[in-house]
Structure formats: structure tokens, C-alpha cells
Amino acid sequence: PARGPVAERLLERLDRAGGSGGLCSIEAAAALGVDHQTLVGAVKSLQALGEVIEAEARAATRWELSPEGEEVLRDGSPEVRLFRSLPEEGLPQAEAMKLPGGSLGFSKAMANKWVRLDKGAPGGPRVLPVVPSVQDTVQEHLGQVRAGEAQALPERERAELKRRKLLLEVTLKSYWIRKGSAFSTAVARPETELTPEMIATGSWRQLPFKPYNFSSLGLPPACGHLHPLLKVRSELRQIFLEMGCPRITSWRAPSGTSTRCSKPQQHPARDQHDTFFLLDPAEAPQLPSGYTSKVKKVHSQGGYGSQGYRYEWKVEEARKNLLRTHTTSASARALFRLARQEKFSPVKYFSIDRVFRNESLDATHLAEFHQVEGVVADRGLTLGHLMGILRQFFTKLGISQLRFKPAYNPYTEPSMEVFSYHEGLKKWVEVGNSGVFRPELLLPMGLPENVSVIAWGLSLERPTMIKYGINNIRELVGHRVNLQMVYDSPLCRLDV
């Protein structure tokens, strides 16, 4: 409903305006003695009643004094105050800095050539007046602004006052109000609700009702919101499913899983400074005996075309439980189960899971994050098949410009890093890693000799940060997450 007295008084004043064409809301608020925002609320209420009034939004700029400008208008500019405080013989610079106006007044007075600094004076540098008197034009110009004559000032003078933060350019939003086609000084308030009494008495037939606005949006329902990481993970999961890959997952692994990935037990990545070892349970209950002996032989003596690492392999080290540092451990478990089947059949796997590393936290690294991995096992797979699948996978991510660079991984040979051209950075950046699993990793599991396994992986956090414009990973996860960002972020759509 219209806001009672203010709305009715506005209508009466508009009626008395006659043929003047309308009223300015700012002038009307001043004439009615009410706050401008209160009058704007009454205008909007009257607009909701139909064609009672017409209101055209307008914007105008005006100049106002800042708090510093008010002080200068009252006491004078800093340079004039400093100049008028100097005696004829001048003052030591240290004392002049303590006068009204201080260092700002000194610098302005020096620029105006009202004072000079005698650096060779006895007792140290001395500030001396150069001219007999000065005129405070800054104070005069501010007085003009206060009098409503800001437009009479030269543009250069206004810009200087604004630069010194003595003057503010304020944008005023107002309405030009005119009579509407259904104008009336009597505010007819339509009913907004149909009550049981209206139905019982039949009075609703004679009452005007406010029309429903079917285009207005209702209040958003109170419900949960998906985190950006979950949205991007869902998109990646859909890509894998479209490529025919079922999911594999596990959250911990014995240290021996790194060993089965052809990573030596003394590898730096398995050091306490890079890995989180578990206290309870500290060791895996058992390892497959036949498979364990084959892995030990490959590492210590070689085999299956490999000369091994030539060190004493220890089962005690392999039993240690740790939080996985990469999802390839889950891929190795899945391939081991595949090898236990009576008859081999080609498979595709993927995993999107957390990994844990003893990292120093910064804008791009966390101690726990997600890795995305895809694995394909079949007969006769080559590096060409891997490159073709990589192009298909990254094209679905919206990444079409790819380059491949040879790399080294302990468990794949050949290995490739995947690079994409970043239009924003104008350079090639790494987006993933890949390779063909080594025979000395696959054959001890029991997989046929003519079976090859290709795999590739990337992170989840960095693509999410790029999609949502997040520069610091600590703003994506952790205690610094802005929950409003989670609420406002739209559903992710990868650029297909």
C-alpha cells in the first residue's frame, strides 16, 4: 500500500502544480520537509497502484566539500596557514613542520614560491618568507562551491581541488514526477489478500484487488549449495563416463603400493618429509606372497627386460601404511584385481580422489588435494593411442591446442607431459602428465605379455580456480572460504 501521509501530500502538491509539467523529487522532498529516500519510497508505492503517477528516473552530478574541504573553508589552506605563521626572520625547518599546515603546507608554499629553504643557515635549514603577503585562492574557490557556483570555476581549478581531496563529485539520483492517466489525490489501496470474511459475505465482488505479478521472482528456497570443486568434479566425472570408464577409489595404501608402481623404497617422494605415514594401523596386515616375491626380485635383481634398482628390498618398508601421495596407487590395485581374473578383457578406469602430501602451504599448494586419473588396458596399445585419447579428453574440457613433451616417471615408459596454449598468459602451460605403464610393473601382476596400459592425470583444484577466477587456493578450500562465493557461483559448464 501507499505510504499514507507522504504519498497523499505528494499527490496534493502534484495536483497544485497544475500545468507546470511535474515535480522534481528532490525539490518536492525539501518542500514537504521529508527525507528524499522517504519520498522515493512513496513514489514507488504510488507506481505500484497503476497509472496514478509517472516517474522518470534522472541522474545529476554536483560538487560538495569533503570534510577536509570544510576544514580549509573554515581555517584556510595549509600553505596559507603556514606562510602566515612564519615570522619575518623565518623559522628552522623542524619547527616550521610543526606549524599549522605542516609538511603539506610547506610543499605547496614552496611550489607557489612563497617561501624558500636556506640550507646553509646557522643551526640548520631555515624556512624564510619570500613575498610580503599571499591570497588564499583555495579557500575562495571552496567558498564558491559552497555558494553553489562550482560550475563557474575553471575545470583546472576543480580538478586540482578534487585531486587534493577537498572537493567531491556526487551523483544525485532523482525522479521527475508527473500525473498519470489514472491520477487522483485520493489514494485507492487495492486489496492484496482474499480473506475468508470476503468470501463469506461476498464483498470481494465489489473490492479492487492488486494484480498478481507473475513475472516477479520469488524468494530462493533455503537449500544446500554445491562447492565449485564438486561442480567441476561432476563435469569431469561425466566426461569419463562418456568415454566408457567406470570409477575406482580407495583412500589409503600400504607403502608397497608405491613399490608395485616401480618406485624404489629409497625414492625421495617416500621420505617422511613428503609423505604422511599412519600410526594406527601402522602396517598392512598381509601382502600377496607370490606377487610380493616377484616385486622384490624386479627391484633388487631386475627382470622382464629391466635391470632393476639393485638395492636390498625390504618387506618391512613395503608394509608401512601411508596416505596416498598419488592416485596411481588406486590404478595399480585395480590392475592387480584385473590380473586375477581367469580371462583378460579390455577395461577403462578413472578416479577423482584426494591425495596427501607434506607440502608447505601457499597460494597454489595444499597438504591435501585432488588428482584426476584415467587408465586404459588393452592389447596392442601404443603411444599413438594415448595421444589420441588425450586429445579427445582435453577437447571435452575445452582445451584443443595441445603439445606433448617427453618426461620421466618411475612407473611409465615412455612418459609425456601435456601442455596447452594459454591465451591469457600467451604461453604454453602444463595441464597434465601421462605415459605407458612399464612391463616390469604389469607382468609381475600376472597380466598377459601383449597387454599394454596407458594412463593420464591432472589436478582438480587448478582447473576449478581458472574456471571461477580464484587466484589463491586457500580461498577455494579451508577456513578462508567465502560461503557467499559458494552460494553465488553458477553451475559449471566446461567450454566444449
How many domains does the structure of the chain reveal?
2
Give the C-alpha separation, 236 to 353, whole Å. Answer: 12
Are the CB atoms for 177 and 54 separated by under 8 Å?
A: yes
In terms of domains, do 164 and 246 share one? no
Task: Using pLDDT thresholds of 50, 70 and 90, give the confidence band for residue 201.
Answer: very high
Residues 211 and 359 in one domain: no
Which range of residues forms the domain containing residue 278? Answer: 229-488
Structure confidence at residue 257 as a pLDDT band (50, 70, 90): very low
CA distance 278 to 251: 12
The answer to whether residue 45 sits within a structural domain is yes
Distance CA 494, CA 490 (A): 12
109 within domain boundaries: no
Same domain, 166 and 146: yes
Is the pLDDT reported for residue 253 higher than 80?
no
| Chosen domain end from 150, 183, 218 | 218
Average pLDDT, the chain: 81
pLDDT at 1 over 60: no
**193 and 338 fall within a common domain:** no
Give the C-alpha separation, 165 to 445, whole Å.
76
Span of 56-65, 172-181, 300-309 with lowest mean pLDDT: 300-309
Residue 293: count other Cβ atoms within 10 Å of its Cβ: 13
Looking at residue 334, what is its pLDDT? 87
**Residue 417 falls within a domain, yes or no?**
yes
Question: According to the model, what pLDDT value does residue 419 have?
Answer: 87
Co-location of 421 and 321 in the same domain: yes
Question: Does one domain contain both 178 and 278?
Answer: no
Rounded Cα gap, residues 325 and 157, in angstroms? 65
Q: How far apart are CA 166 and CA 79, in angstroms?
A: 14
In a domain, 431, yes or no: yes
Q: Are residue 163 and residue 269 in the same domain, yes or no?
A: no
CATH of the domain at 282: 3.30.930.10
Q: The whole model's pTM is what?
A: 0.50
**CA 339 from chain center: how many Å?**
45
Residue 136 confidence class, pLDDT cut points 50, 70, 90: very high
Residue 154, domain CATH:
3.30.1370.240
Same domain, 205 and 293: no
Asked if residue 121 belongs to a domain, the reply is no
The pLDDT of residue 169 is above 80? yes
* Residues 176 and 267 both lie in one domain: no
pLDDT of residue 493: 55
User: Do 346 and 442 share a domain, yes or no?
Assistant: yes
pLDDT digits (tens, 9 = 90+) for 350-402: 888 888 887 777 766 777 788 888 889 999 888 899 999 888 888 887 777 88
Does a structural domain hold residue 16?
Answer: yes
Q: Write the pLDDT tens digit of every residue in 422-446.
A: 776 677 878 788 999 888 888 888 8
Spatial CA neighbour of 340 closest among 438, 445, 449, 440: 445
The pLDDT of residue 231 is above 80 = yes
Domain end, chosen from 218, 249, 278, is at 218
Q: Are 409 and 391 in contact (CB under 8 A)?
A: no
* Nearest one of 258, 330, 259, 257 to 298, comparing CA atoms: 259
Answer whether residue 486 shows pLDDT above 70: yes
Residues 6+ apart with CB under 8 A from 370: 229, 233, 352, 353, 354, 355, 459, 460, 461
Domain boundary among 188, 218, 248: 218
Write the single-letter amino acid at 36: H
CB-based contact 4:45 (threshold 8 Å): no
605547496: which residue's cell? 108
Residue range 219-245: mean pLDDT, rounded: 80
Four-residue CA torsion sign, 363, 364, 369, 370: positive
Q: Do residues 243 and 199 both lie within one domain?
A: no
Residue 196 has pLDDT above 90, yes or no: yes
Is the pLDDT assigned to residue 173 strictly greater than 80? yes
Q: What per-residue confidence (pLDDT) applies to 215?
A: 87
Same domain, 175 and 319: no
Helix (H, G, I), strand (E, B) or coil at 54: strand
Task: Please provide residue 110's backbone torsions phi and psi, each rounded to the nearest 5 degrees.
Answer: -65, -40
CA nearest to 249, candidates 231, 265, 237, 260? 237
User: pLDDT tens across 78-115, in order?
Assistant: 999 989 888 888 889 888 888 877 888 888 999 999 99
Residue 61 inside a domain? The answer is: yes
In a domain, 102, yes or no: no
